[in-house]
Structure 1
Amino acid sequence: MPGNLSSPYPGNSSEAWQAPSFTRAAQFRVGATMLLFSFAAVSNLAVLFSVAQGGGRRLSPRFRPLILSLALADLMMTFVVMPLDAVWNVTVQWYAGDVLCKLLCFLKLFAMHASAFILVAISLDRHAAILYPLSSLDSQRRNKRMLLVAWSASLLLASPQVLQFIFRTIKAGNADFTQCVTHGSFRQRWQETLYNMFHFVTLYVMPLLVMIFCYARIMLEINRQMKKNKAAGDSCLRRSGTDQIPKARLKTLKMTIIIVASFVICWTPYYLLGIWYWFHPQMLRETPEYVNHILFLFGHLNTCSDPVIYGLYTPSFRADLASCWRRCSPDSPRTPDQSEPSQEGTGPEQEQ
């Protein structure tokens, strides 16, 4: 396992050490990682361009910083975690020195925390938008504060990776093999397991619980309003002056639910594998190597799925891409109103 990247956080082992090699399964992992990297880079940069340039005049002011931050977090995962994983599997051992060992492990954990915490901020925003619609007057300021907390907490929780006693470069026995690991950084196995479990809670358990709480309350509120409308003779939620949940807001809610579901589906197998490894290190010998690689690649799919989901639910994103294509293509005819979306009130950009 180059860099022990096939488990969330590497651990110490009393097993007889064997130098890893660039196996066929690792070669497949590198090839698949580079394909995912290419797609994630192009799609997330497109979202970033759309939100920062075109989306500024159509996307809801309260929602724009959230999507912008999510795209930035996904780009950090794309340009830090994916290339690091691919190169580390190719070289097998670590050649970049102690400083880069700490820095890249810090950036990896920072990107993973940021992605999870921004999804929490998005969930809290949807919770406030549905349950407390009158609070939307102050929502833009509140979202900026939540994003500041999300990025600051990610920075704080990832900062221990740069300390001397966690990740460092060591040589394996008398062999000419250097690796960036935590081996020997903790006196007892349980100390490292406790450290890993702490990050498991902050990276996955705590964000998941907050998101479940938010969307459970949202579903209960929607169900309550549907029963209320049904009792009044309405068969569905209508977009009118008396509706508390406008149509565009419901569409934004559907988009965020799918984004959160993608996070849970993609990363749950990876973290379960990590827990199994922390408490049962022998699992590396019992589990086929390709299983470890596939589960880690499955986690990368989350970075690719976010821009796809956003594009499917945001007409202005597709309009911005079409406008960019027309500007880049000299033979493409242009009309004055081509850059404006034709769908009004059908996407999250029209939410009030």
Structure 2
Amino acid sequence: MATMNSTDVHDWQDPYRTSTNVILEMLTLCIMWIGCVFGNTLVCVVVYRSRRMQSTTNYFVVSLAWADLLVAFFCMPFIASRVVTEEWIFGDFMCKIVRFLQILAPGSTVYVLLAIAFDRFYTIIYPLSFKVTRGKAKQMIAGSWLFAAIIASPSFYLYGAVTSDYPPGTILCNTYIPRSVGAIIYSVFIFLIIFLVPVVIILVVYIRIFKYIWTVGVGGRTFQRTMNTVPRTKVKTIKMLSIVNIFYFLSWAPFIFVQLWFACSHSTYINPTVYVAVTWVSFASSVSNPIIYSCYNANFRRGCKEVFCMSNMRCYRSNTYAITTASRFGKKNHIGVVDMSNGNGHYRASTPTKTFDRDSKGDKKMAWPLAARPGPDTYL
């Protein structure tokens, strides 16, 4: 997200850096890259395949997964290359593109988290006054990415490949913005608009939600709830999203503060090990989200089992659980038009509704036969 003056700060040419440090850093980064790509791809596949997962909240979750994949493919490999080679080998234009995407990904994540907070706020506290439909969710996601892109656009001017004086002739891509008035203004702006202000707003919103869930006012006095009127599934979702927010902002906070400190201080040196450490911690947020979903969302765990053919569904279509005439599965397989024999003759249901009416014309038979003792693979 930030840049370093390559002509002044010899962050990657430190003589005290050893090959052991580089190997450990690369091993850690490879593990995080595999976890990030595998976990966030699995999130997208599960939400796409499972109709029970296609809610407005999960639309936001998919957007978070795409931002994390953007970090995996356009942040981790390029930083790994610089750690290993100690120089930039991809040219000036690619340096600007990479820095732009490295601001776009966390920026879009922050504003999607902000949109999720408002979605949960109105869903829990004011369910009748405002409803976030799928169309509105898509618009909020598009707006979050567009706003983040606008914020990241100055990177095309501030970043670029430069020739370093140590060692002479080495080409490096700025990691922190070269010290200037514009650098200070932009760093403070990034700190406020991508970190501090969203943190305050999200914190206030979730405090309101938690107070509404666990307290109730009677006669001007506040008591703890004995009977929670909010469904348990929504409470679990709020807990899960709160942990996602906490982990994300805690993991990115060190990197943001280092960026702000470098822009505002007179120091010309940053310990490269410290820089790699705070960068790796920020990348950890891209790996953590799928783990949090699997711990707090039973539907996500069920969807993962179906994807890997580990559930009773045995790799059936992901939407066969909803056997209705309006579902895609029902239309494609003509659910609702079956032949039934009542013993006196042949009867064909005239409408899909009558097909599922077990009392139609006095016939108590079901629309399809079931075994007397269903086996473990029967899905009801």
- TM bin, normalised by shorter chain, reads 0.7 to 0.9
Amino acid in structure 1 at the alignment position of 2:257:
L
Deviations 1:23-80, CA, capped at 9 Å, x for gaps: 44344222211110011110111111001112xx102532231111111111111211
**Aligned ranges 1:267-278 → 2 under 5 Å:** 267-278=252-263
What corresponds to 1:215 in structure 2?
A: 206
Larger RCO, structure (CA 8 Å, separation 6 or more): 1
What corresponds to 1:346 in structure 2?
A: none
Match of 1:237 among 227, 242, 246: 227
More helix by share: 1
Between the aligned partners of 2:9 and 2:302, the Cα distance in structure 1 is: 58
**1:293 corresponds to 2:284:** no
CA 200–335 in structure 1, closer or farther in 2 if over 3 Å, else same? closer
Amino acid in structure 1 at the alignment position of 2:153:
S
Deviations 1:83-115, CA, capped at 9 Å, x for gaps: 121112112111111111111111111112111
**C-alpha RMSD of the superposition:** 3.3
Match of 2:164 among 155, 172, 193: 172
What corresponds to 1:9 in structure 2?
A: 2
Amino acid in structure 2 at the alignment position of 1:249:
K
Between the aligned partners of 1:182 and 1:299, the Cα distance in structure 2 is: 15
Q: Percent identity?
A: 23
Between the aligned partners of 2:42 and 2:248, the Cα distance in structure 1 is: 20
Deviations 1:177-208, CA, capped at 9 Å, x for gaps: 1112289x86x623211111211222211221
CA 171–18 in structure 1, closer or farther in 2 if over 3 Å, else same? same
Amino acid in structure 1 at the alignment position of 2:40:
N
What corresponds to 2:124 in structure 1?
A: 130
Between the aligned partners of 2:209 and 2:223, the Cα distance in structure 1 is: 23
Between the aligned partners of 1:167 and 1:235, the Cα distance in structure 2 is: 54
Partner of 1:198: helix, strand, or coil? Answer: helix
Q: Quick check: 2:55–2:134 contact (8 Å CA) kept in 1?
A: yes
1:82, distance to aligned residue in structure 2 (A): 1.3
Match of 1:249 among 224, 228, 234: 234
CA 39–232 in structure 1, closer or farther in 2 if over 3 Å, else same? closer
1:255, distance to aligned residue in structure 2 (A): 0.9
Between the aligned partners of 1:336 and 1:19, the Cα distance in structure 2 is: 49
Q: Quick check: 2:49–2:318 contact (8 Å CA) kept in 1?
A: no
Between the aligned partners of 1:10 and 1:150, the Cα distance in structure 2 is: 23
Partner of 2:53: helix, strand, or coil? Answer: coil
CA 333–110 in structure 1, closer or farther in 2 if over 3 Å, else same? closer
Match of 1:68 among 40, 44, 62: 62
Deviations 1:231-251, CA, capped at 9 Å, x for gaps: 99995334xxxx3x2221111
CA 157–18 in structure 1, closer or farther in 2 if over 3 Å, else same? closer
Between the aligned partners of 1:64 and 1:141, the Cα distance in structure 2 is: 13
**1:90 corresponds to 2:80:** no
Between the aligned partners of 1:291 and 1:104, the Cα distance in structure 2 is: 21
What corresponds to 1:110 in structure 2?
A: 104
Q: Quick check: 1:168–1:181 contact (8 Å CA) kept in 2?
A: yes
Q: Quick check: 2:6–2:164 contact (8 Å CA) kept in 1?
A: no
Deviations 1:150-182, CA, capped at 9 Å, x for gaps: 01111111122223xx11222124822111228
**1:311 corresponds to 2:294:** yes
CA 144–217 in structure 1, closer or farther in 2 if over 3 Å, else same? same
1:303, distance to aligned residue in structure 2 (A): 0.7
Structure having the higher Rg? 2
Residues paired across the two proteins, number: 316
Unaligned runs of 5+ in 1: 1-7, 343-352
Amino acid in structure 2 at the alignment position of 1:194:
I
Deviations 1:288-338, CA, capped at 9 Å, x for gaps: 5433322221111111111111111222222222222228xxxx9965889
More strand by share: 2
Between the aligned partners of 1:180 and 1:292, the Cα distance in structure 2 is: 15
Partner of 1:176: helix, strand, or coil? Answer: strand
CA 182–299 in structure 1, closer or farther in 2 if over 3 Å, else same? closer
Partner of 1:133: helix, strand, or coil? Answer: coil
Unaligned runs of 5+ in 2: 322-380
Q: Quick check: 1:11–1:192 contact (8 Å CA) kept in 2?
A: no
